[in-house]
Amino acid sequence: MTVEPIRLSKRMAELGICSRREADSYIEKGWVRVNGKIAVLGQKVMPSDRIDLDKQAHQQQAQRVTILLNKPVGFVSGQPEKDYRAAVELITPENHWDGDTSRITYQASHLKGLAPAGRLDIDSVGLLVLTQDGRTAKQLIGENSDSEKEYLVRVKGQLSEQGLALLNHGLSLDGEKLRPAKVEWQNEDQLRFVLKQGKKRQIRRMCELVGLRVVGLKRIRIGRVKLGALPMGKWRYLSPNERF
Which is the CATH superfamily of the domain at 149-222? Answer: Pseudouridine synthase (3.30.2350.10)
Task: Tell me the average pLDDT across 191-196.
Answer: 95
Catalytic, out of 121, 133, 146, 189: 121
Q: Which residues of 148-182 are buried (b: 16+ CB within 10 A; e: fewer)?
A: ebbbbbebeeebeeebeebbeeebeeeeeebeebe
CB atoms within 10 A of CB 191: 22
Does the structure show a pLDDT above 90 at 168? yes
Q: Do domains 6-62 and 66-142+225-237 have the same CATH topology?
A: no
Check: pTM over 0.85? Answer yes or no.
no
Specify whether 121 is catalytic: yes
Going from N- to C-terminal start, the domains of the chain cover 6-62, 66-142+225-237, 149-222
pLDDT in tens, 195-221: 998 888 999 999 999 999 999 999 999
> 66-142+225-237 belongs to which CATH class?
alpha beta
Average pLDDT in the 225-231 region?
Answer: 96
How confident is the prediction for the chain on average, in pLDDT? Answer: 91
Confidence category of residue 18, pLDDT binned at 50, 70, 90 = confident
C-beta atoms surrounding 6 within 10 Å: 13
Which fold would CATH assign to domain 6-62? 3.10.290
% of the chain exceeding 70 in pLDDT: 99
Q: Is the pLDDT of residue 78 over 90?
A: no
